[in-house]
Amino acid sequence: MRDDPGNRPPTAMELQNMLAEGETTSAQLVEDALSRAKVSDDLGIFVSLREDSAIKEAQASDRFRSEKKARSRLEGIPVAIKDNIAIAGEPLGCGSKILDGYISPFSSTAVERLRAFGAIPIGATNMDEFAMGSSTEHSIHGSTRNPWQRDRVPGGSSGGSAAAVAAGVVPIALGSDTGGSIRQPASFCGVVGMKPTYGRISRWGLVAFASSLDQIGPIAHTAEDCALVLDCIGGSDSRDSTCLPSGSTDCYGALNAGLENLVIGLPKEYFQSTGVDAEVLEKVYDAVKHLEEAGAELREISLPHTEYAVSTYYLVATAEASSNLARYDGARYGKRSDAARSLVGMYEGSRSEGFGEEVKRRIFLGTYVLSAGYYDAYYRKAQKVRTLLRRDFEEAFLECDVIATPTCPEVAFPLGSKLDPLAMYLSDVFTVSANLVGVPGVSLPCGFKEGLPIGLQLLGQAGDDAMPLRIAHEYQKTTNFHCAVPPGVAP
């Protein structure tokens, strides 16, 4: 059963209770977070810290509270922000040389809303360059390390944000998820990561990788904290035409609805896959059996086009990336090459010097599949398969309320062990479908293998972000995996 949560750093809800009771102050929480960030510098989590600004904001939050004006349950809580989500007046580098030294002139909608509700960003977290990677090894700032075992990757591309929560620096972080970049590092780091329904959270101020796939989402120790954040930052935004007009789901209010009469679908294409580590599969199956004992019904379902998901994702994502990254040419955005002797030379030199190898690889592939001779054979066909995948999910949700799968086929792998790009791409096999079809997904810890966390993924119907969080919350009420902490992390 569930351990005493005192053996891990407090959640945002627990900190909020401490603030309300006068046991601590926001200024103290922020100072502690900044101190932890510096102590954990060897993990490569942060690329910049907002020391003076964050402390001033914390002092202002304490004044709000003293006047009984706490703006939300996030009032005075320190948070970390991935380095591709804009904060006005702060560096916005996306882990890339081409944006080294760039200062954002505005804040993203997600950050604006967090601050409006009283949360305090303390700094920017490391990431794979332009969110292209599954290990947080492709960054101008070097690799981030997994707090559980420092010779392992934290996952990616939001590895810095996941590691910040796992290492106890902050209770909440924001990441971005294009093909699993929140859920996969959450799985590897033993925390909860949420990819909302596409359009639930505004992408204004999120540096674009693949615009039809990208979503900002929260990372925390608990589904409860993720629900708090989603309710605060979700909702319509006139600055993002892809944002849903219906506003935010009340995820926090739905957390305690229970599991009675809920049906959990188990796709045979995932549970019968030969590419999944046997122990990972066993722990995930144990988790869904636990949910069955708590009142849910398990039902085998089929997602027949799953085998095409990774190929489809990397065609769509790279095509959109090649278009989005065209603006970084040394003239409109990005550092300009000093060696340029002509306009074309400036473009070529700036991009060649500024982009890393993985980004160049994806630009080349995306440009190729969009070219006149190959558009129909690759990109158009990928979009057709994307439609088939969406229909698979629509039909599956006629039979179940949520779909359960492993988050990843394995636990965190050693740094430098996946130099083959294809091997790295295949680590996204269970996560990319959610982005292609726009449904919400949550990863939560459900076990360990040789001291490394294993993640259970719960996928909900588009628009129903509350359902996977509700089931995750019920699971965490009667299990203790989220209470475990990496070696050396103090409460």
Give the residue numbers spanning the domain of 292: 5-269+281-302+391-483
pLDDT tens-digit map of 24-65: 999 999 999 999 999 999 999 999 999 999 999 999 999 999
Residue 3 has pLDDT above 80, yes or no: no
256-282 confidence digits (pLDDT tens): 999 999 999 999 999 987 789 999 999
Pairing assessment for the beta strands 172-177 and 215-220 based on DSSP bridges: antiparallel
Distances from the Cα of 123 to the Cα of 37, 50, 85, 354, 374, angstroms = 9, 5, 11, 23, 43
- The reply to whether 367 falls in a domain is no
**Across residues 296-307, what is the average pLDDT?**
97
CA–CA dist 460, 264 (Å, integer): 10
Instruction: Give a yes or no: residue 30 inside a domain.
Output: yes
The neighbouring-strand residues paired with 125 are 46, 82
Tell me which residues are annotated as active site: 82, 157, 181
Average pLDDT on 229-234 reads 96
Q: Is residue 88 part of a domain?
A: yes
| Residue 247 predicted with pLDDT over 60 | no
Query: Taking the mean position of all CA atoms in its chain, how far away is CA 59?
Result: 29
pLDDT tens figures, 302-338: 999 999 999 999 999 999 999 999 999 888 888 888 8
Any domain includes 328: no
Radius of gyration over every alpha carbon of the chain, rounded to an integer in angstroms? 21
**What is the DSSP code string of 365-402?**
HHHHHHSTTTIIIIIIHHHHHHHHHHHHHHHHTTT-SE
CA-to-CA distance for 442 and 405, rounded, in angstroms?
10
The DSSP code for 317 is H
Q: What is the mean pLDDT of residues 207-236?
A: 97
Please report whether residue 488 resides in a domain.
no
Q: Provide, rounded to the nearest whole percent, the portion of the chain with pLDDT above 70.
A: 98
- Taking the C-alpha atoms of residue 195 and residue 206, their distance in angstroms, rounded to an integer, is 14
Distance CA 401, CA 459 (A): 9
DSSP single-letter state for residue 452: E
**In-domain check, residue 126:** yes
Pairwise pLDDT comparison (320 vs 8), residue with the higher score: 320
Residue 117 lies in a domain: yes
From 5, 10, 6, 27, select the one nearest 75 (Cα to Cα).
27
**pLDDT tens digits, one per residue of 358-367:** 999 999 999 9
**CATH code, domain carrying 124:** 3.90.1300.10
Domain count, the chain: 1
Angle at 312 between CA 310 and CA 316, to 5 degrees: 120
pLDDT at position 1 over 60 = no
Pair of tokens at residue 36: 């932890």
pTM over 0.75: yes
Residue 319 domain flag: no
Nearest to residue 182, comparing CAs of 159, 166, 164? 159
